[in-house]
Amino acid sequence: MKKMLAWLLAAVMMLSISVPAFAEETNAVVVGATTQMSGHFFTDLWGNNTSDMDVRGLIHGYATIAWVAQGAYEMDPVAVEEITFEDDENGNRTYTIKIQKDLCYNDGTQITAKDYVFSVLLQSSDEIAEIGATNMNYGHLLGHAAYAAGESDVLKGVRLVDDYTFQLTVDAGNLPYYYELALVNVMPYPAAVIAPGCEVKDDGEGAYLAGEFTAEVLNNTILGENGYLSHPSVSCGAYKLVSFNSDAKVAEFEVNPYFKGNKDGVKPSIAKITFKQVDNDTMLDELENGTVDLINKVTSGTVLTAAEQAGVKMDGYGRAGLAMLAFSCENKLTSSPLLRQAMAYLVDRNALCEEFLKGYGQPVYSYYGLGQWMAAEGKAALNNLKKFEYSEQNAAFLLYEDGWTRDATYERYTLRNGTRAKVFEGDETATSLKLHFARPANNQAADIVEAQLLAAGKAVGFELEVTEMSMSELLSYYYRQQDRSEYDLFFLATNFSQVFDPYYNYHTDEAYQGVYNRSGLKDEKLMELAKAMRETAPGDKAAYLAAWEAFITYWQEAMPAVPLYSNNYYDLYTEKLTGYEIAPTWSWSQAIIGAKIAE
């Protein structure tokens, strides 16, 4: 029996570069962020970078689902006329989505249901996987496995009904799902640009792409020098990308004249935006000099203290994420949870927070962020977590338990007597405990952690080889887009999406290793605990919270990364910018739509 979407919605709701010339115009702003753009401005299939995510939020739009609060979402009425669903006798659930008839890309081309169906087919194809992307975003759809593996040209779970209607069928095996409506969240992309000459068709068994749709074509249109990944010129968000200088890491945007508005119908009034990287050492000077008007996601306690003293306008919001030391758990040295737990004892989180955050954040001890609703409502569970206070003694005990009992000459190791070693099963000689640490350049928090680890290494018997690199290069190793076998741990931070569903992040199958499973960990229990979260019925907040508590508790034992701190983000801006309202559920790229330039 067909049910209207309203029932489901109700249940879920319970739950230093010079400034380009145009930036000097009166109706323009310059936005800065400390995270360098990688230039991945088309989907998250090649990984996520917070600045890249902000660019995507600025230039892409008309998703079927809009986020309104932590864990709460709804159909976007600007893009969608209606969503209904019905179940078949096998428990598969088919959503019928009718889009609005007046949607256009920034070049005036009309958006139809084919653009949404193309988006799903493209992101699920074996061809896009051939060029280095993950193709599992829609793995919950009926028939996805065969289509993604190239065993079928038709995706059964996607149907093209008419010019403005399409259907998505969620396989019964993926239900219930706590964030169920997110399963039908689709954003349109232009087939004429990405797969020229191809057409979406449906002969009654499911949608497919007709025409020359090959990995070679996609490699040229997406990954080419001016390909859609870094230069998506045709899009449908509030702004359009005018230019991106990959060397200077500066992007320029103009208002999309065809944009109908965000979910509330609000259209941007600021005509032009420049987005660039800024440094903690100079960002306040740039604000004062007017070379930057808004700085997003400031974390440095030194900067924030100085900004408060100077009377700079600043808005804070909880970070749904954390900083961490992420392990390459597939590497021999870091494959043991005992070694990873030992490393967790060798970072002084309190000293790090005091020196770097200066009261604007606090230590965390598992995979959560202070800005998540679960952290706010599950404080008792957080208090029960092991705190891993700095302890050379505890670290040394765990290293001993893990077999690091010898030195490089295979003599018995004693504390502060060189470098530990162990003989791994199958090896004839001892392996020294020499960890290779990849960290971003010009990063104060990384400087502090590096100094702590170097000192700890001398105390408990390990060596630390440090390599500094750009954030974009570091992420390419972290996401395993390059061979990372020489790197054992990475300093970085992550922000969680609105859908906190780490199931695929810790999935043990090979298909998920890389962009999804960045840790390289294959722990069946952790995967099952993540699965229990996602399989919570929509609206059952208490059950989801209980499953989350079990997940973060065991996560400490598996320790795929050393959790360091979470904090509030702060956006700093000048008097020039008015009506700027930031929140944990959206970044500057959404908040800027409602902002204005002071007259």
State residue 594's pLDDT score: 94
Q: Is the pLDDT of residue 182 over 70?
A: yes
Q: Are 206 and 157 in contact (CB under 8 A)?
A: yes
State the pLDDT at residue 2.
44
pLDDT over threshold 60, residue 223: yes
pLDDT digit string, tens, across residues 44-99: 898 888 899 999 999 999 999 998 766 678 999 999 999 999 999 999 999 999 99
Helix/strand/coil percent split, the chain, to 5? 30, 25, 45
pLDDT confidence of 12, banded at 50, 70, 90? very low
Using the 8-state DSSP alphabet, how is residue 217 labeled? Answer: H
* Euclidean distance between CA atoms 284 and 572, whole angstroms: 9
In contact, 463 and 436? CB cutoff 8 Å: no
Percent of the chain with pLDDT over 70: 95
pLDDT at 184 over 70: yes
Q: Which residues contact 208 (CB under 8 A, 6 or more apart)?
A: 121, 153, 154, 155, 200, 201, 202
Q: Rounded mean pLDDT of 434-443?
A: 96
Residue-wise pLDDT tens digits, 467-498: 999 988 999 999 998 999 999 999 999 988 88
Residue 156 has pLDDT above 90, yes or no: yes
Q: What does the block give as tokens for 396?
A: 């040394």
105-142: per-residue pLDDT in tens? 999 999 999 999 999 999 999 999 999 998 989 999 99
- Which of helix, strand or coil describes residue 354? helix
Burial class (CB in 10 A: 0-12, 13-18, 19+), 26: exposed
Answer positive or negative: Cα dihedral of 580, 585, 588, 592: negative
Lowest mean pLDDT among 6-10, 266-270, 425-429, 550-554: 6-10
Could you give the CA distance from residue 101 to residue 182 in angstroms, rounded to a whole number? 22
Q: Are strands 28-33 and 294-298 parallel, antiparallel or unpaired?
A: parallel
Contact 536, 544 (CB under 8 A): yes
Predicted confidence band of residue 13 (pLDDT cuts 50, 70, 90): very low
Cβ-contact 45, 133 below 8 angstroms: yes
Tell me: pLDDT of 266 over 70.
Answer: yes
pLDDT for the residue 69: 65
Give pLDDT, residue 25. Answer: 63
Whether 345 has a pLDDT exceeding 90, the answer reads yes
Residue 436 bridge partners (DSSP): 465
pLDDT (0 to 100) of residue 418: 86
Say which residue the tokens 């032009």 belong to.
Answer: 272
Contact 434/463 with Cβ under 8 angstroms? yes
Looking at residues 193-206, what average pLDDT do you find? 97
At 391-403, the pLDDT tens digits run 999 999 999 999 9
What is the Cα 233 distance to its own chain's centre?
23
Q: What is the mean pLDDT of residues 376-401?
A: 96
Nearest Cα to 253, choosing from 15, 54, 444? Answer: 54
Please give the pLDDT value at position 70: 64
Whether pLDDT at 7 is above 60: no
Q: Is the pLDDT of residue 23 over 50?
A: no
Judge if the upstream peptide bond of residue 20 is cis by omega within 30 degrees of 0.
Answer: no
Q: pLDDT band for position 16 (50/70/90)?
A: very low
Tell me whether strands 93-99 and 165-170 are parallel, antiparallel or unpaired: antiparallel
Rounded CA separation 118/201 (Å)? 10
Give the confidence band of 8 by pLDDT, cuts at 50, 70, 90: very low
Token duo for residue 554: 């065991």
* pLDDT for residue 6 is more than 50: no
Residue 163 pLDDT > 50: yes
- Which DSSP string do the residues of 197-262 spell out, in sequence order? T-EEEESSS-EEEES---HHHHHHHHHSTT-TTT---S--SSEEEEEEETTTTEEEEEE-TT---S
Cβ proximity of 329 and 520 under 8 Å: yes
72-76, 185-189, 591-595: least confidently modelled range: 72-76
Band (pLDDT 50/70/90 cuts) for residue 5 is: very low
150: left (phi over 0), alpha (psi -120 to 50) or beta: left
Set out the domains of the chain in order of their start, with CATH numbers: 3-236+574-592 (3.90.76.10), 321-567 (3.10.105.10)
E strand intervals along 71-147: 72-75, 80-87, 93-99
Contact between 465 and 435 (Cβ < 8 Å): yes
Residue 24 has pLDDT above 60, yes or no: no
The CA distance from 58 to 270, in Å, is: 13
Tell me if the pTM is above 0.85: yes
User: Of 13-17, 327-331, 463-467, which gets the smallest average pLDDT?
Assistant: 13-17
